[in-house]
Amino acid sequence: MYFYSDPKVKPEKEYGTVAGTAIELKLVNRIRTQVKKWRSDGYPGVTRTTHELLQW
C-alpha cells in the first residue's frame, strides 16, 4: 500500500490526520509474495556466494 499525500494540502493538527489517497500497488504486492516464497524455499537459483551474502 502506498499513501500519496498531496503537498498542497496541509496536514490537520487534530488527531494527526493527513489528507491523502491510499493506493494499492498490485505489482509490488505480487513481488513481495514471490520473494517471501523464494526465501522460504532457501533462495533457489542463487550462487553460493550470493547465498552466503543473503545469510549474512
Q: Which of 34, 38, 2 is nearest to 20 (CA)?
A: 2
Helices (H), 1-56: 26-40, 48-55
Question: Which 3 state secondary structure label does DSSP give 21?
Answer: strand
Q: Average pLDDT of 43-51?
A: 97
pLDDT tens per residue across span 11-46: 665 555 667 788 899 999 999 999 999 999 999 999
